[in-house]
Amino acid sequence: MRKMIAVLLVLSFLLSPLSSAPKEYTHDEFPQWAHDFRRAETIFFGSLPITFLASTLVYETSIGLGMQPWTTDDTTRTLYLLSSAAAFSLTIAIIDHLLEGEDGT
C-alpha cells in the first residue's frame, strides 16, 4: 500500500508541470536595470574563459621570454591568473554597458 502511494505521489509531481502551459513573459515584466544586469552578467561569465586563456598565454609567453615568475606555487599562480581574467572580463562588461547606453539599443 505504501509503495502504491509513493508511486502515485511521484507520478503526480512529475506530471503536474505537463498539465499547465507556461505563461509568456511580457516586455515590461522586469525593470530595465534587471535587463542591463543580466546582459552584463552574461557578457562577464561568457568572456571569462577567453580572458583566462589569454591571461595564461600572456603569462606563459612572458615566462618563456625570460621574465621571472610571480610565484612558484601553482595555486597562487592560478589565483593571480583568474583574478586578472576576472578584471579583464569586468572591463569588457563595463565597456559593453557604456557602449550599449550610447546608442540606446
Give tens-digit pLDDT for 19-51: 567 678 787 888 988 989 999 999 999 999 999
Task: Take residue 3 and report the three cell numbers written for it.
Answer: 509503495
Does residue 104 sit in helix, strand or coil? coil
Report CA 21 to chain centroid distance, whole Å.
Answer: 29
CB 81 within 8 A of CB 53: no
The fraction of the chain above a pLDDT of 90, given in percent, is 50
Alpha helices in the chain (DSSP H): 2-19, 32-64, 74-103
**CA pair distance 72, 7, nearest whole angstrom:** 57
Asked whether 68 and 76 are in contact (CB, 8 A), the reply is no
Taking residues 63-92, what's their average pLDDT?
92
- The percentage of residues in the chain with a pLDDT greater than 70, rounded to a whole number, is 88
In angstroms, the CA 44 to CA 85 distance is 10
- On the CB side of 62, CA atoms within 13 Å amount to 10
